[in-house]
Each structure stands twice: as C-alpha cells, then as structure tokens.
Amino acid sequence: MANEIADKKKHIVIVGGGPVGALNACYLSRRGFKVDLYEGRNDIRQEENATGRSINLALSCRGIAALNHVGLDKRVMALGIPMKARMIHLPNGELYSVPYGKTGQHLLSIDRLQLNKDLLTVASSQPNVSIHFNTKLINCDIKKAKATFSKKDGAEITTTSDAIFGCDGAFSAVRRQMQRGVFNYSQEYIQHGYKELTIPSTKNGEFAMAANYLHIWPRHEFMMIGLPNQDKSFTVTLFMPFTKFNALTKGDEVVEFFKEVFPDSLPLIGEELLREDFFKLPALSLVSVKCSPYHCGNTVALFGDAAHAVVPFFGQGLNGSLEDVLVFDGIMEKHENDFDKVLPEYTKVRCKDGQALADLSKQNYIEMRSSVVSLWFLFRKKVDNILTTVLPSMFVPKYSMVAFTRTPYHQVILQSKRNDKIINTALLVFALFMIGACFCLFTSYKDGSVTDSKTEL
C-alpha cells in the first residue's frame, strides 16, 4: 500500500538549498522519493568567504531532534558551544547570570553556515538526490507542479514534478505564487534593525568573556547579544530602532555611544574594529511572516521561513523550521506518503504552531531587552525553578517548553498562560496571607498577647 502510493508521488522539486531544503531532501530520499533541489546561489561549500544568514544560531531540542534523523545531531552537539545561562551585562559593568533551565539543560551556539554545508553534504550523498546550484526559480504553476528556473548563463529550464516544496526563505518565490489565490498572508517589519559586530579572541587566543553563556546587554529600547564561536570569538548583534541607527553617522559618535551604553564591551570589541564593522553594512531589517494554508492541493507545501519567518528573539527560527520537516515526516508516516491526505493535514497541524512561534518570538524581544533586568522577572525565574524542582511533571516554564521540549508552540502559549494565572494567583494569596499574618502579629503585640506568650516561655 505504502509503495503503491509512493509510486504515485515520487518526484519532488525542492526550491531552496538552505538548511531546511537540504534536510528535507534527506528525509524524502529516505522515503524513496526522487528529489531535485534547486538553489539560486552558488554552492557555499566551494566558496571561501561565503556568508550565510548573519545572526548565528542557538540550537535547541527541536533542531537537534530533526537532525537526529540524518545522523547530524551528534556532530552538531560535539562542535556546538553549550550556553547554560544568560549573562546579563548592566550599564555599570556588573554581571549576573540567569540559567535557561535545569542543571544540564543548555542551548548550543553553532555556526549556521557550517551546519548548512554539512546538511548539503549529507543530502548530496543520498540516493536519488540531485542538487542544482546557481539555478533560480522565476515562475511556477503551482497546480501543475511545473517550475521554471533561470541558470547563471541566462538559460531557462522547466521541471514538471509531482510536488514542489518551497524551502526558499522569508521572501519565498513559491509562496508568492500561492498568494495569487485565496491565501492568508501577513508580513510585519518591526521598528528595530540589526548590525553585526565581533568580539575577537584575546591575544592569548582565549575567549574574551565567559564562553558558556549567551551574553545580553539589555537596555530597554534596544539590546546587544553575543554568542560564542568555535574560533573563540563572539558574534555580537546590536538590535536598535532604525531612527537610532540613522542618528549615528560618524565613527566618533559610535564610540561615544558604546562608551555610554555598553562600556564593558568597548575594550573587548576594540575601538578600531568597531569603527570599521559598524559602517560595513547598513542596519538590516527584521520581518515576521505568517500565512495559511501551508499547502496547495496535493502539489505544493511550504517549510521554514517560507511558511513562518520570525524575529530572532527566541532563537527558534531555524529550530522551528527544522522541526517542520520532522513534523511533516510524521504525517507522511501516518498517511503512508499519500499527498492527498498528508498536505492538508500538514497545514492543519503546523499552521497554528508557525503562527504561535511568530508571536512567541515577538514577545521575547520585550523580555530580552527589558524584563530580564526587572526584579519581577528574576523573582519569577526563582519561583519557576522551585516549581520545576518540586513538581517536575506538572510544571515546565515557558522558556523551557520552547527550548527543551517538543511541546507544540501553540500549546506552549496556552500552557504558559495557565501557568501564569495559577502562579500569580498563588503569589497573591500568599502575599495576602503574609499581610494578614503580620497584621495579626501586630495586633497581638499591641494588646499584649505576644508579650504574654513570651512570658509563658
């Protein structure tokens, strides 16, 4: 039965050779499909100075689970640098850390470009997978699964397959074709842009800051983060409103700004490198994309950023994208590769999670740049930690559900709302009880009962 259906649908065209497209090729090959993967850019494995998407990657549970299937999880875990906690840098130079989860739980700082290279290598070694670089989608008929690509030399090629999988990122050309029909879609740019800087390794070739942390300089209106790299440097990303970026037009102004706002980072980055890096590129924009459905008929499906581009503040963009492939594979298994059933169910199951992920990511920006320094946040983290220790099967904090479990994102939102309600009510009751107790004590003390009880001792 499974083979019969697989025979009906056996040739897939994947658009996009990023990590999601490459991983998808591996999964489909394992199911016996013939896969042609088309990527507009050159093969990044052959480029010396190839740059992937710039913000580097905090890999967690979902991404690792998806990589497990192709045997890359162990390699990534060996090469990644564990980040067990946030390291908060205050404006006065003070530091303190806030753990991400229980002991042993951590994020992995990894090189996004290296991961992409590894996935391409694994994909191209699979049977029935062909990868075509420098081949850009220019048009597609989504109902007929017919796609036209242009090659670097201007030549055009047209493919007809059983289905097209759009893994072509936030500005997906496949999705653009779907948008012409009845299709819900939103793109939202936040008011903040980002620039990438570097904290190089020290003269002794060591990390310039504690390595096993995600460093955060939260400054309410904006923030800076630093993730450790294998070469002992840190990739530093500054997120700020565009108006603020535009106000800094000279090297001296940038240095002054850093002296005032991120003083401890300045000697680590170095004035010279800061002046150089800051003006290398304009501030880049951050977009959040939601859409539905994730499929069209039995011929097209969207994965990763093409389905749900998110702002990078939960470190879940690629984790959620890789998980799409894993979730899809589960549905393929359930419906024995029957695309008539698989594609609609993929939309039904995954759309609400993609939308929840976009919402969670936007919310976490506020947490990262502001709440993380509030007393309430720190107090709640302590309460959460106590509850996780005392009631491990009943209580998992929101961050842990996202980063260290595979709880569907939309359930994370529901569950954490419930948690907040229960905890806030319990804290209120506790506070009222304490006030009541103090009042009783005070009254007893005033009318002499406390004194009396003392005399009884």
Query: What gap in Å lies between CA 166 and CA 17, rounded to an integer?
Result: 10
Tokens standing for residue 111: 């090189």
Total residues at interface with a copy of itself (CB under 8 A): 10
Q: Are 369 and 223 in contact (CB under 8 A)?
A: yes
Closest contact distance (angstroms) between CB of 287 and a copy of itself is: 8
Query: What gap in Å lies between CA 199 and CA 220, rounded to an integer?
Result: 22
Q: Which is nearer to a copy of itself, 179 or 453 (CB)?
A: 179
Tell whether residue 246 is a contact of a copy of itself (CB under 8 A). no
Query: What gap in Å lies between CA 371 and CA 377, rounded to an integer?
Result: 6
Residues in region 254-313 near a copy of itself by CB under 8 A? 285
Closest contact distance (angstroms) between CB of 187 and a copy of itself is: 5
Q: Which of 68, 186, 249, 374 binds a copy of itself (CB under 8 A)?
A: 186
Q: Which is nearer to a copy of itself, 26 or 286 (CB)?
A: 286
Residues in region 345-374 near a copy of itself by CB under 8 A? none
42 secondary structure, DSSP code: -
Q: Are 305 and 55 in contact (CB under 8 A)?
A: no
Give the list of residues 6+ apart from residue 49 with CB closer than 8 angstroms, or none. none
Within 10 Å of residue 266's Cβ, how many Cβ atoms? 16
For residue 316, what are the CA distances in angstroms to 53, 165, 284, 313?
A: 14, 21, 19, 8
**DSSP strand pairing (81-83 vs 107-110):** antiparallel
Closest contact distance (angstroms) between CB of 292 and a copy of itself is: 9
Give the x-and-dash track for 156-185 against a copy of itself (CB under 8 A). -----------------------x--xxxx
Q: Which is nearer to a copy of itself, 189 or 445 (CB)?
A: 189
Q: Which is nearer to a copy of itself, 32 or 297 (CB)?
A: 297
Query: What residue has token string 């913000």?
Result: 55
Q: Are 224 and 217 in contact (CB under 8 A)?
A: yes
Helix (H) or strand (E) holding 155: none
Q: Which of 156, 188, 333, 340 binds a copy of itself (CB under 8 A)?
A: 188
Closest contact distance (angstroms) between CB of 286 and a copy of itself is: 10
Q: Which is nearer to a copy of itself, 121 or 285 (CB)?
A: 285
Q: Which is nearer to a copy of itself, 229 or 288 (CB)?
A: 288
Q: Which is nearer to a copy of itself, 112 or 290 (CB)?
A: 290
Query: What gap in Å lies between CA 367 and CA 380, rounded to an integer?
Result: 12
CA trace torsion 397, 288, 15, 353 (10° rounding)? 30
Closest contact distance (angstroms) between CB of 355 and a copy of itself is: 12
For binding to a copy of itself (CB under 8 A), which residues are involved?
179, 182-189, 285
